[in-house]
Structure 1
Amino acid sequence: MNVLIIEDDPMVEFIHRNYLEKLAIFEEIYSADTVDDAQQRLSEKQVDLILLDIHLKEGNGLDFLTQLRANRTEVEVILITAANETNSVQTGLHLGAIDYLIKPFTFERFQQSIQQFQDKRRQLDSSQVSQDTIDRLLNSSQQAPKDAAPPAIELDKGLSNQTMDHIFKVIDEIHQPFTIQELAEKCGLSHVSVRKYIHYLENLGQLKSETIYTKVGRPYKAFRYIK
């Protein structure tokens, strides 16, 4: 099986790819950062699953999904986006998306979404299906959000999708390793606020902390982005 990530933020794309590699399910992991690039990929490669962002710099994910369905392209889609407006969720589900993940999310929730894709693929891998199979598929689709593992409470309260995206971009550009104070200054945010995001990314395994020792003064803690 092959999967295509359609995401225009390099760091977010890296996180998706890292999660997929950790699951070790797909033979090939392709990436595209625009709708045109995604269409080119689909014309050249066999893709079984698409991880699709909605708000792309060049193109709209929901418009792309609409086109896929109009063309009867046989590929499953999981929407992964910061867009949490009701109409976006409804449109995505009406267009047949297997799942809808709102950034940020835990690895466990991501794994559940991929498992849902695998279950659907396995249960429909025959010329005919029973009513029991259909009922299981519909029941799984309806209950997935309820069973989703939420982020840790202390992180969930203080996180903002917009701020997370901003911090992602600064981390990608800042000198490595960096301190929380350095990142806060580059981001224009408070030390306390940035520390919450650092803690979140460290728990995800995207940042690694290290102790820096100096000849003069006390050692200090710095962070390095894991690539």
Structure 2
Amino acid sequence: MTNILIVEDDPMVQFIHRNYLEKIGTFDTIYSSETIAEAKKLLSSRSIQLVLLDIRLKDGNGIDFLTDLRRTKQTVDVILITAANEVNIVNDALHLGVIDYLIKPFTLERFEKSIQRYRTKHQALVTDQLDQSQLDTYFEPQTTIAPTVDLDKGLSKATLQLIQGAIKQLPQPFTVAQLTTETGLSHVSVRKYLSFLEDHHFLKGDTIYRKTGRPYKTYQMVTAPHALS
């Protein structure tokens, strides 16, 4: 039995979630809550495997609720569905181990991908021990940031993976110089890949003007960088 809880204080949005879930037909029971307090009661009294969680709720913040779930080691999985798209919130959500992060509004197709990501994890972790190929079935779907995006001429997937891995290690925002040091690549190469990621909206660039000296540019993630498959 697999049950799901929708935590959303907008009745219309809650209806859309439920309608999508009923179309997909994956879950046995669909619970719903408009508040964190009610969600906590349901989680303590019902068997729930997945939570669809909004961030800005009537009685609190979804990230704080998620933090509490992790602190108390509740094993429920979480997909965040919210209008909040600030990078610091996305990073907090990723660090807290969300299955996926959907920004409102979204399509049924994108919603289905999110539920499929949960299914993939659930199916991969049904045994006591796993081999690498079983783990890869879970992690590999998340290693594609844009399967429909072709690399520009002169760029390679291997170098892009190196760049993306380095970006995840850097504080946000970061500079070209910091990324160059982290990767060991030349400034010219780093700038080419940053331009590619910025053009395809995986990074946001900002020009910083100083009272003296030349302006410089910083970058920050707008989606979590993953390696291309």
State if a TM-score over 0.5 links the two structures.
Answer: yes
Amino acid at match of 1:43: S
More helix by percentage: 1
Residue 108 in structure 1 maps to residue 109 in structure 2: yes
Give the conservation status (yes or no) of the 8 Å contact 2:5–2:33: yes
Distance 1:147 1:53, change over 3 A: farther
When the two chains are superposed, the root-mean-square deviation of aligned CA atoms in Å is 1.3
Cα distance between partner residues in 1 of 2:94 and 2:139? 12
**Correspondence list, 1:129-168, <5 A:** 129-143=130-144, 146=146
Say if 2:3 and 2:50, in contact at 8 Å, map to a contact too: yes
Deviation, 1:140, is: 1.8
CA contact (8 A) 2:6 2:31 kept: yes
How does 1:170-181 map onto structure 2 within 5 Å? none
C-alpha offsets along residues 114-154 of structure 1, whole Å, 9 cap, x if unaligned? 011001100110000112222332222232x5359xxxxxx
Is 1:4–1:30's contact at 8 Å kept on the other side of the alignment? yes
User: Which digits, 9 at most, give the CA deviation of each residue in 1:76-123, with x for residues without a partner?
Assistant: 100000000001111101100000000000000000100110011001
CA deviation map 1:55-80 (0-9, x unaligned): 11211100000000011101110000
Contact 1:8-1:33 within 8 A present in 2 as well? yes
> Aligned ranges for residues 194-209 of structure 1 at < 5 Å?
none
Aligned equivalents of 1:75, 1:11: Cα separation in 2 = 25
AA matched with 1:63 = D
**Residues 147 and 46 of structure 1: is their aligned pair in 2 closer, same or farther, counting only changes over 3 Å?**
farther
The number of residue pairs the alignment matches comes to: 147
1:22 maps to amino acid: K
Check conservation: 2:124, 2:137, Cα contact below 8 A: no
Letter in 2 for 1:99: D
Asked if the contact 1:99–1:141 (Cα under 8 Å) also holds between the matched residues in 2, the reply is no
1:104 alignment partner AA: P
How do 1:55-94 and structure 2 match up within 5 A? 55-94=56-95
- Structure 1 residues not aligned, in runs of 5+: 149-227
> Which residue in 2 is equivalent to 1:28?
29
CA distance in 2, matches of 1:135, 1:93: 19
Which amino acid in the other structure matches residue 13 of structure 2?
V
Matched residues in 1 for 2:62 and 2:32: separation?
14
- Aligned to 1:100, what secondary structure does the other structure show? strand
Aligned residue for 1:4, secondary structure, equals strand
Q: How many percent of aligned residue pairs carry the same amino acid? A: 53
CA distance in 1, matches of 2:100, 2:3: 18
In 2, distance between residues paired with 1:118 and 1:147? 20
Kindly provide the amino acid, as one letter, of the partner of residue 68 in structure 2. Answer: Q
- In the alignment, residue 45 of structure 1 is paired with which amino acid? R
Distance in 2 (CA, whole Å) between partners of 1:11 and 1:106 is 15
Task: Give me the whole-angstrom Cα distance separating, in 2, the residues matched to 1:16 and 1:147.
Answer: 26
Check conservation: 1:80, 1:100, Cα contact below 8 A. Answer: yes
Counterpart for residue 128 of structure 1: 129
Structure 2 stretches of 5 or more lacking a match?
149-229
Verify the 8 A CA contact 1:98 1:141 in the aligned structure 2: no
